[in-house]
Amino acid sequence: MRVLCAWFPKLDIDIVLRQRPTLAGRPVVLLQGHGDRALVSGVSCEASRLGILPGMSAGQARRRSPGAVFLADNSGACLDELERLAMILRTRVTTRVEVGGRDHLFVAIDGEDHDAEKALALRVMGLVRTWAARPVRGGLAATRADALEAARASRRGMLALPPAHGDQPDRVGIFRNEEVTARRAFPDALGGAGARAAIGELCVRLAGILAGRGVGARAIAVDVATREGHVRVRVPSPQPAFTGAELMALVAGQLTPDLLEGATRIEIRVGRLCPDVRVAPLGVANFERADLALAG
């Protein structure tokens, strides 16, 4: 068994330009976070040529290109597109499909030998290209990391790495729509403030579980039981949530104090688990590379 990685170069920018075609040819920068400390999560080719790289702060990016178009990160839209493609693959090809990040997914390729696996991977890539209707490159290797690197190194089509002696192949898991739940019951009914504090504690507990798995959540449901009945609220999350503060901010906007008054039991479920798509700050060596790009 080998792993096929389907990688979509600049998927985030492609989605922006399809939604706002008038931005074509302009430097576009996507930001994760708020203010000058927000981090650059995506850049168009025009912005790259100005020396802007993912991981820079918003302030640094603005100094390099004050005239660039700065937009909010759209990793949620990227995951929507990848999940759409993954669902088609799970229905028509194999259930062993995983969304690997904000711009790629993994597919298990299982053939009688390596030549058969390569032929199967090429057919799957053809299907992905047809269903996606956007640029995609492929990499075939024993592990996810190698497959992703091969996809990124591929000029077009697919790059298959030759099997290496001692390879320990990854196994792409069968798709499961998992949820993570945290709940508390109270011997005495809580007031609105006490219930909000309990929800905050549950959000922190859930964030710890998500962090341990290295994932975020895109669907949140809250069930509040009172002596008069139940309140069930589904909370939309256009962007993945990773921290207790992010989960609490989403929940707090949907639950008013009167809904929480008299709570005897609170349960929070998070689902549509997704890979960690947060951007890491850029290192010093990469800043030097950006300066060279700017000088060139």
32 pLDDT exceeds 90?
yes
**Which carries the bigger pLDDT value, residue 111 or residue 268?**
268
| Segments of the chain assigned to CATH 3.30.70.270 | 2-8+79-160
| Segments of the chain assigned to CATH 3.40.1170.60 | 11-75+283-295
Beta carbons of 13 and 44 less than 8 angstroms apart: yes
Q: Give the per-residue pLDDT at 213.
A: 94
Which pLDDT band, with edges at 50, 70 and 90, does 105 fall under? very high
Average pLDDT over residues 285-293: 55
Whether domain 2-8+79-160 has CATH 3.30.70.270: the reply is yes
227 pLDDT exceeds 90?
no
Half-sphere exposure (Cβ direction) of 145: Cα atoms closer than 13 Å: 2
Average pLDDT over residues 154-170: 81
Whether domain 11-75+283-295 has CATH 3.40.1170.60: the reply is yes
CATH superfamily of 179-272: DNA polymerase, Y-family, little finger domain (3.30.1490.100)
Average pLDDT over residues 49-55: 94
Neighbours of 211 (CB within 10 A): 14
202 pLDDT exceeds 60?
yes
The helix (H) or strand (E) run that includes residue 284 is helix 284-295
Mean pLDDT of the residues in the chain = 90
Q: What is the maximal distance between C-alpha atoms in the chain?
A: 69
28 pLDDT exceeds 90?
yes
3-class secondary structure, 24: coil
